[in-house]
Amino acid sequence: MAIKAGERMPAGTLKRMTKEGPRDLSTDELFKGKRVVLFSVPGAFTPTCDAKHLPGFVQLADQIRAKGVDTIACMAVNDVFVMNAWGKASGVGDRILMLADGNGEYARALGLELDAKGHGMGTRGQRFALIVRDGAATHVNVEAPGQFKVSAAEYVLGQL
């Protein structure tokens, strides 16, 4: 069952790239005591994700942070090296935290996994955006198949 607004975020571990190499990041570290925008894409470097979804958050990062958001994080069922390379190629700098859910465990824990086997991509995460305050989801925006509206940076900014 997919997470709903008002529910606690499930516990889990994601990976991020640091200067020292790949490191685990617990969801407790990510969410506790913070206001976080977590958005998920089906895959790094895929068409809508690369042309619209991530760039929108990069462009609006300062405006989103000005609304009291501590962290903007992008999650995908890709490995930490791919997420790091995508972040560099997209010029995210320190505006967006690029998080790898390599085996799709966190997408599954959220109830937001996506069967993309028909496209040769295995199991991925759905396209979504969550606003989280101190470990509880306040807004859950999950896209309908083939859509890109409610998880877009502009839409999320309007909810803050």
Gap between the Cα atoms of 128 and 91, Å rounded: 21
Q: Are 90 and 56 in contact (CB under 8 A)?
A: no
Place of tokens 């989801």: 137
Name the residues annotated as catalytic: 49
CA distances from residue 145 to 114, 116, 149, 154 in whole angstroms, order as listed: 10, 11, 11, 19
